Amino acid sequence: MAPAIRHLISLDDLSDEDLRAVVGRAAGLAARPRAAQASLRGDVVGIYFRRTSTRTRTAFSSGALRLGAQIIAYGPGDLQTNTGESIEDTGRVLATMLDVLVARTADDPAQLRAMAAQERMAVINAMSADEHPTQALADLTTVLRRFGRVDGLRLLYLGEGNNSAAALALALSRFPGAELHLRTPPGYGLAPDVLARARAHAARCGALVEESHDPGELPAKVDAVYTTRWQTTGTTKQDPDWRTVFAPFQVTGELWRSSPDALFMHDLPAHRGEEVTAEVLDGPRSIAFEQAENKLYSAMAALEWCRGGELA
């Protein structure tokens, strides 16, 4: 009997144990990349990106191929959804031909859930407006590889409470002792429902998630400082003066020197001179490009999990 498929549209689709297993599997694949089994041999994976992507699209395409699957890529203008076919009908048809669909819609996640309203094809969210779950998998894989643990990690996040921040909060809050200190510009914080869900996870798991809009009030000592670009893919800001609001949240050399033991994280792409200075991003304590590389291994682990695999 074929294994049951699993959808990954939100971090909340993973149990605490599943999350730990996927991140552990990704770190294992990173340690021995050539030892990956052809666990997706015979599968066909659809790669459907309606928005630009360098890392996520390549990670899932390369990852699927490395696991023995074949891929079909669709651009934003390719499917009949552009001529009015419903998302539900599209998902129903694709599910008869594909085993997994990796989709970046940058739209309402309800569209991804509509695609997932079938039991034959796993659907993976490669970034929607509210959450970027596979980014958090890469981030935690990077932390695990660097620190040997995620439990107890203390992380300062500076910047917009966007889809990467949402996923980070929903993921890190499941690890005992972990602390996520968010400093978000006023008016650009984490969505209230995401913050509430992350805090509920944290209360259950013995972690901490706190947010303020004061970049001058920072935690005393952290293991890592994380930021993200100010213009999230597929979004625009209404306020013409938004840069003034964001400016105090830049990761500067001065801030950086006040955290001499911390590593620097960034989901990329970066805009040097906006959210972070080149000195920090390109400095010796930056692990931003390790995060990018780990997107490959976490994509492979996510694909295996979605296909019902037991993750060693």
Q: Which residues bind ligand CP (CB under 6 A)?
A: 53-57, 127, 135, 233, 267-269
Shortest Å, Cβ 49 to ligand CP? 8
Shortest Å, Cβ 55 to ligand CP? 4
Of 249, 105, 136, the residue nearest 185 (C-alpha): 249
Residues 6+ apart with CB under 8 A from 22: 14, 137, 298, 301, 302, 305, 311
Of 76 and 269, nearer to ligand CP (C-beta) is 269
Q: Is the peptide bond before 76 cis (omega within 30 degrees of 0)?
A: no
Token digits for 46?
């659809």
Rounded CA-CA distance 22/73 in Å is: 25
Of 15 and 54, nearer to ligand CP (C-beta) is 54
Of 227 and 233, nearer to ligand CP (C-beta) is 233
Shortest Å, Cβ 73 to ligand CP? 14
Of 75, 62, 69, 79, the residue nearest 44 (C-alpha): 69
Shortest Å, Cβ 184 to ligand CP? 18
Please give the residue whose beta carbon sits closest to ligand CP in the complex.
56
Of 5 and 142, nearer to ligand CP (C-beta) is 142
Of 99 and 267, nearer to ligand CP (C-beta) is 267
Shortest Å, Cβ 74 to ligand CP? 16
